[in-house]
Amino acid sequence: MAEITSFSGKTTSVDGQSLIDIAVADLMARVGERVRKARERKGIPRRVLSEMSGVSPRYLAQLESGEGNISIGLLKRVAVALDYRIEWLVGQDDPFGSEVMQVAEMFRTADRGTQQAVLRALSTEPSRCQRAGRICLVGLRGAGKSTLGKLAGEALNLPFVELNREIELTGGMPVDEIMALYGQEGYRKLEADALDRIVATYDRLILAVAGGIVAEPTTYNSLLGRFHTIWLKASPSEHMDRVRAQGDTRPMAGNPEAMAQLRSILQSREALYERAHAQLDTSGATVQDTLKRLQSLIHEQGFLN
């Protein structure tokens, strides 16, 4: 028989289940359903999400069925891999039924002209002069940010800075070790702090940032407000080939789903990268040809004026 809820400290139950157990079961079911919906909306197979998040396919299956008692740390990994905020997965309000999520999905699938019009209408970012002569290159690994940034800096007589190098100087260790020791949250905090120091130090420079910075809304909005941003684009196959040509075999080693994973990441971040102030496709072009086009774009857009 169901018992009436009491605030006197007495244990209450409904048909033999404690109210706490019921609340936990409801939360697990809600989180599992939202993870499944988010994954399906992005067209990401469960195996690919497993590779992206580091959470096993079996655990993901249990999670999506509402039976997985996942830790906060692992759920955060899943949220980051899906490019969702963790509170969207656990909150009382259904993000998939809300107007905010509906608008976000409409924006993601709209053509670029519509997206730009929406951004102009909603933009509250600082005036152009607050970006000064600061230029930032964004995009996935292998887009050419470091190579082109260094060469463009030399050609335009501008300092070239890599944000991850600044983070390593502050953290006193390589980025991989920072991630292992402090996790994603710790890395993001160092990333935001490093960006603030660069803005305080330079009025004119070319900056290259890690590909995932666009998934952190606060830091990315700060970047867009204080830098002229250029998205360096390339096809997934070129991204992969360039990384391997640099001697980094990690993207492919023991990972048959590497290309599918890369395509999923690019697809999920495309709308974010398109918020950049300009784009430059580096596919099928030599470094020198792309460098010339980058310099022309910078001058045509007046990014150094």
Domain boundaries of the chain, sorted by first residue? 13-96, 123-301
Note whether 227 and 134 are within 8 A (CB).
yes
**pLDDT of amino acid 41:** 80
pTM over 0.75? The answer is no
Distance CA 252, CA 51 (A): 12
In terms of CATH, what superfamily is 123-301? Answer: P-loop containing nucleotide triphosphate hydrolases (3.40.50.300)
User: How far lies 21's CA from each of 13, 189, 300, in Å?
Assistant: 9, 35, 62
How many residues would you count in the chain? 305
Where do the H-state alpha helices sit in 172-286?
Answer: 175-201, 217-226, 236-245, 258-273
**pLDDT of amino acid 13:** 56
Query: Which uninterrupted H or E stretch holds 14?
Result: strand 13-14
**pLDDT of amino acid 5:** 46
Distance CA 14, CA 4 (A): 8
**pLDDT of amino acid 157:** 96
Q: Is 245 exposed, middle or buried (0-12, 13-18, 19+ CB in 10 A)?
A: exposed
In three-state form (DSSP H/G/I as H, E/B as E, the rest C), the secondary structure along 129-168 is: HHHCEEEEEECCCCCCHHHHHHHHHHHHCCCEEEHHHHHH
A 10 A CB-CB count for 21 gives 12
Q: Which amino acid is at 15?
A: D
**pLDDT of amino acid 4:** 45
In the CATH scheme, what is the code of domain 13-96?
1.10.260.40
Please give the chain's pLDDT, 305 residues, in tens.
444 444 344 445 555 567 777 777 788 888 888 888 888 887 888 888 888 888 888 888 888 888 877 777 777 777 777 777 777 777 666 666 566 666 766 776 677 677 767 766 666 555 556 888 999 999 988 888 999 999 999 999 999 999 999 999 888 898 889 888 888 888 889 999 999 999 999 999 999 999 889 988 889 999 999 999 999 998 777 766 766 666 554 444 455 566 777 777 777 788 899 999 999 998 888 899 999 999 999 999 999 98
